[in-house]
């Protein structure tokens, strides 16, 4: 027994473990690299599309201007029914006054 060496059958081969770790690292690195390249390409394409269609910004500004004008406008909607359009802050003041009385 003194000169006998026991062989461990269940011990993993370290070479295979290291090759698996290095292979996994390489695959993940490739995925991250190409993923970032795809993201940059799609982001720049979106930016150039947005610059080409500059009318989106002007249409949005026109819509905001229209909404601001309409929210401050006071006019009769239907005189027969007594319906009038007034600004929201004025209407809230009237409601608060009526509620406090």
Mind listing the pLDDT tens digit for each residue in 56-89? 678 888 898 999 888 888 888 888 998 988 998 8
* Unique residue bearing structure tokens 């970032």: 36
Query: Could you list the residue range(s) of the whole structural domain that residue 14 is in?
Result: 1-52
pLDDT, greater one: 45 or 71: 71
Model confidence, pTM: 0.36
Instruction: Give a yes or no: residue 72 inside a domain.
Output: no
Q: Is residue 31 part of a domain?
A: yes
- Is there a domain that residue 3 lies in? yes
User: SS3 of 97, please?
Assistant: helix
Backbone angles phi, psi at 94, to 5 degrees: -65, -45
32 occurs within a structural domain: yes
Which H or E run includes 76?
strand 75-78
For residue 47, being part of any structural domain is answered with yes
| Count of structural domains within the chain | 1
Residue 67 counted as domain residue: no
Q: SS3 of 75, please?
A: strand
Residue 12 in this model has a pLDDT that exceeds 80: no
Report residue 11 as tokens. 């011990």
Bridge partners of 76?
A: 84
């Amino acid at each position: 027994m003194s000169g006998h060496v026991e062989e461990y059958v269940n011990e993993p081969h370290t070479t295979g473990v290291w090759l698996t770790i290095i292979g996994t690292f390489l695959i993940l690195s490739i995925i991250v690299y190409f993923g970032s390249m795809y993201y940059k390409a799609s982001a720049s394409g979106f930016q150039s599309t947005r610059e080409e269609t500059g009318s989106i910004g002007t249409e949005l500004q026109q819509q905001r201007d229209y909404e601001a004008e309409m929210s401050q406008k006071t006019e009769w909607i239907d005189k027969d029914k007594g319906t009038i359009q007034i600004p929201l802050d004025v209407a809230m003041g009237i409601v608060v006054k009526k509620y406090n009385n």
